[in-house]
Amino acid sequence: MKVVLTVISCFLSNFAIAQGWQNIGLQSEYINSIAIDVNDSGVLYVGSDFNSASSGTVFKSTDNGVHWDTLDIQTAVPQVVIDPANSNTIYVNTATKILRTIDGGIHWARADSGISLEPLISISSFVIDPKNPEILFAGTAGNGPGGLYKSINNGQTWSELACLDSTQEDCQKLNGGVISIAIYPKDPQILYVGISWTGEVLKTIDGGITWCRTNLLQNGFKDVLWIHPLNQNHVYAGVRSYGLFKTTDGGESWSKENLPDSVKFIKSIVFEPRDFSTIYLGTEHGVFTKDLVENTWGTINTGLGNLHISNMTISPDGGKLYLGLDSSGGLIGGIYTYSLVTSIDEKSGDPFLNDSILYQSYPNPFNDMTVIAYSLSSPAKVSLTVYDVRGRLVVTLVNEYQTEGFYRIPWHGINADGFSISSGLYVCKLQVNEVTIGRKMLHAK
């Protein structure tokens, strides 16, 4: 009993248990966009929309939402995006222009020269190349021809990604307007875009030189696209009025996710960034969450002012969800946070810049089972082992030559002799050739 009590005490002092959503201000605002500084998760930028109380603006907090400052922007802001290499550089998409600051929001300048905005055409989507942040993509759409634009100099100038081959039918469809863009973080030459006029999803693997149509035949605007950070062929699409669809073969075939029929509008798709084992959806009926290991859906809505989610994101360390609410029609708006159980380790860092990555096991702490995930950038001799705190080998889970890719190994807390382990702290070690990486795991009965 003493051992169990000690473990519980450790658990409570090192982990935050989610007790529901907590409002951190801006309740009169219609929240369009939330951006979190990757180097300091206490620094938040929030773009708001026009409503009866405000013309829209950008708010900034440097203390995780305790205090908010209003930045010098007086218009609706659909998107706020932070440069991943320089957190003082922020881009704001107002639909009619792109603004850029290089000093954390004190001064702003236009950064959209070359983007054609005819009457009734707006900037509908904007993304940054995560590996080359000077490269930007912007989509335009509306009541007329739109397109896809690219900048290679931080938005100073833009050029339209026109078809080099006028006979390429799929490429010509970009003129139908681009309402959503997803970029693959491991290889930013791979992009998926949602087309306004036709409702199709196009794909490029060469940075926009050539395009092909995927086979997502469901009608409706593809409002949200998301590519799995470790697998370019796994893509999710939020289809307006029809729900969530997924492909696991790069767009050749799609299937509809098993959500309630009432869920028609997917506003945000967010994945837990440590091992990508959980998906979170922001919808017009609240927040849905899916455990990708158990393949089950649930909801987390306790504490929200209303269920009309307008935007959602997650902190870089996976410790907190953030969402904004639609305050139109007299609804309570604002920004909310939801604390997730976090591990005893510090954040694992950028999973796209390392050759081999051992992700934090999930869940952690665990009782019956935890999943240990890792990725290999090239074929290698791999050993995955678990040790107790005295350095004694508990079990060997993997000992073989493996090809490059993403691996997920479930462990049910059984040692090499077939017995259940006792409560306590354990260390998982991944050895790839001559390199060893370790992660702590807590087993609590």
Nearest alpha-carbon partner for 203 in 224, 223, 181, 175? 181
Q: Phi/psi zone of residue 397: left (φ > 0), alpha (ψ -120 to 50 degrees), beta?
A: alpha
Asked whether residue 353 carries a pLDDT value surpassing 70, the answer given is: no
- Choose which CATH entry (3.40.50.20, 3.40.50.1370, 2.60.40.4070, 3.30.465.10) describes domain 356-443: 2.60.40.4070
296 vs 385: CA distance, rounded Å: 29
Nearest alpha-carbon partner for 132 in 421, 386, 353, 425? 353
Percent residues over pLDDT 90 in the chain: 62
Q: What is the pLDDT of residue 242?
A: 95
Asked whether residue 189 carries a pLDDT value surpassing 80, the answer given is: yes
CB 170 within 8 A of CB 114: no
Q: What is the pLDDT of residue 418?
A: 92
Asked whether residue 121 carries a pLDDT value surpassing 70, the answer given is: yes
Q: What is the pLDDT of residue 408?
A: 87
Q: Which residue has the higher pLDDT, 167 or 121?
A: 121
Q: Identify residue 100 by its one-letter amino acid code.
A: R
CB 312 within 8 A of CB 91: no
Q: What is the pLDDT of residue 4?
A: 32
CB 173 within 8 A of CB 184: no
CB 309 within 8 A of CB 224: no
Peptide bond into 133 cis (omega under 30): no
Report DSSP letters for 393-425, one per residue: EEEEEEEEEE-SEEEEEEE-SB-TTS-BPPSEE
48 vs 79: CA distance, rounded Å: 9
Q: Return phi, psi of residue 247, to 5°.
A: -120, 145
Q: What is the pLDDT of residue 167?
A: 62
Report the pLDDT averaged over residues 354-368.
Answer: 77
Asked whether residue 1 carries a pLDDT value surpassing 60, the answer given is: no
Kindly report, residue by residue over 160-173, the tens digit of the pLDDT.
997 656 566 777 88
CB 83 within 8 A of CB 133: yes
Q: Is the pTM of this model over 0.85?
A: no
Kindly report, residue by residue over 292-329, the tens digit of the pLDDT.
767 789 999 999 999 999 999 998 877 899 999 998 77
Sign of torsion over alpha carbons 240, 244, 246, 252: negative
pLDDT band, very low/low/confident/very high, at 275 (cuts 50, 70, 90): low
Cα atoms in the 13 Å half-sphere on the side-chain side of 23: 14
Nearest alpha-carbon partner for 228 in 217, 218, 237, 239? 237
Task: Return the DSSP state at 347.
Answer: P
Q: What is the pLDDT of residue 19?
A: 58
Enter the tokens of residue 256. 């509809």
Report the pLDDT averaged over residues 286-290.
Answer: 94
pLDDT band, very low/low/confident/very high, at 7 (cuts 50, 70, 90): very low
Listed by start position, the domains of the chain span 2-339, 356-443
Report the pLDDT averaged over residues 361-373.
Answer: 84
Nearest 5°: the CA angle 344, 347, 352 is: 145
Q: What is the pLDDT of residue 316?
A: 83
Nearest alpha-carbon partner for 168 in 225, 215, 208? 208
pLDDT band, very low/low/confident/very high, at 349 (cuts 50, 70, 90): very low
Q: What is the pLDDT of residue 215?
A: 95
Kindly report, residue by residue over 122-179, the tens digit of the pLDDT.
999 999 999 999 999 999 999 888 999 999 999 999 999 976 565 667 778 888 999 9
Nearest alpha-carbon partner for 225 in 207, 206, 205, 199? 199
Q: What is the pLDDT of residue 309?
A: 96
Mean pLDDT, the chain, as a whole number?
A: 87
Q: How far is CA 45 from the centre of its chain?
A: 16
Dihedral Cα 226, 227, 233, 237, nearest 10 deg: 0
260 vs 403: CA distance, rounded Å: 38
Contact residues for 319 (Cβ-Cβ < 8 A; gap 6+): 16, 41, 339, 340, 342
Q: What is the pLDDT of residue 241?
A: 93
Kindly report, residue by residue over 399-443, the tens digit of the pLDDT.
999 998 888 899 999 999 999 999 888 999 999 988 888 888 888
pLDDT band, very low/low/confident/very high, at 231 (cuts 50, 70, 90): confident
pLDDT band, very low/low/confident/very high, at 17 (cuts 50, 70, 90): very low
**What's the fold here for domain 2-339?**
Methylamine Dehydrogenase; Chain H (2.130.10)
Percent residues over pLDDT 70 in the chain: 90
Q: Which residue has the higher pLDDT, 13 or 78?
A: 78
CB 365 within 8 A of CB 11: yes
CB 224 within 8 A of CB 237: yes
Q: What is the pLDDT of residue 351?
A: 40
Lowest mean pLDDT among 12-16, 55-59, 93-97, 250-254: 12-16
